[in-house]
Amino acid sequence: VPAAAPRPLLRIAIPVFEGLTALDAIGPYEVLSRLPGASVTFLAAGGSQPGRAIRTENGMLGIIADAALDALPAPDVIVVPGGFGIRALLEDDVLVGWLRAAHATSRWTTSVCTGSLLLGAAGLLDGIEATTHWLELETLAGFGAVPVSRRVVRVGKLVTAAGVSAGIDMALSLAALIADERTARAITLGIEYDPEPPFEGGSVATASPELVEFVRARRSSLA
């Protein structure tokens, strides 16, 4: 009797760095880690050390970077989160080089929020539609991308999500593409994702212009 074929491992890499926005990374992690065979690894980027913690942009949360970038040179799925700290990494040769090489063999290369700026800095978005946090769409254009105000933008194997919370939607749509729709629906129910936002206006299209300016002026504490 032949043994059952081992389930192929789905290797998911999430680089983390000082000044990360936690939900950018944790939203997709919570979804993608539930995929059959998934193995999520948080990688140390930007001078952080494997086995040590990075702190989020407000300093209030420490997340362990478990492995060095070069421990996972060819993941199946790449998720690049954003946060203020990403700005300091857009010319980080080690991280940009890792991303460029990993993208060459990845099945999916994705980002949440300002993580797409790193994809742009790596030259992956030239002339390609992509999105980011609404405050940074112009910055994204500066990297050659065609910025789009949508929650999730997919072009081939490149998938970019809008600000912070959009990574959950992105990951669920990706789950259906990686596995199947039934699995994505099961994860949706498993994390009880039937959102009831207490307030509308979570996007520039639906918020009042006055609120948009209010948040723009206080971006360091609110966005």
* Residue 124-163 contact track with its own copies, rule CB under 8 A, x = bound: ---------xx----------------xx---------xx
What's the CA angle centered on 177, arms 165 and 40, to 5 degrees? Answer: 60
From 3-11, 85-93, 94-102, 179-187, give the range in contact with its own copies by CB under 8 A: 179-187
- Nearest partner of 162 among 197, 205, 112, judged by Cα: 112
- Please count the CA atoms within 13 angstroms of the CA of 174 that sit on its side-chain side: 37
Catalytically annotated residues: 113
**Number of residues near its own copies (by CB under 8 A):** 71
- Nearest partner of 42 among 20, 66, 61, 10, judged by Cα: 66
Decide: 43 and 64 in contact? Cβ < 8 Å. no
Under the binding rule (CB under 8 A), the answer on residue 76 touching its own copies is: no
Give CA–CA dist 204/169, Å, rounded. Answer: 17
Under the binding rule (CB under 8 A), the answer on residue 104 touching its own copies is: no
Name which of 122 and 145 has its Cβ closer to its own copies: 145
Give CA–CA dist 38/77, Å, rounded. Answer: 10
Name which of 23 and 122 has its Cβ closer to its own copies: 23
Decide: 130 and 113 in contact? Cβ < 8 Å. no
Binders of its own copies among 28-47, rule CB under 8 A? 29-30, 33-34, 36, 39-42
What is the amino acid identity at position 8? Answer: P
Name which of 123 and 190 has its Cβ closer to its own copies: 190
Give CA–CA dist 80/122, Å, rounded. Answer: 12
Closest approach, Cβ 159 to its own copies, in A, equals 12
Binders of its own copies among 184-203, rule CB under 8 A? 184-203
Under the binding rule (CB under 8 A), the answer on residue 27 touching its own copies is: yes
Closest approach, Cβ 106 to its own copies, in A, equals 19
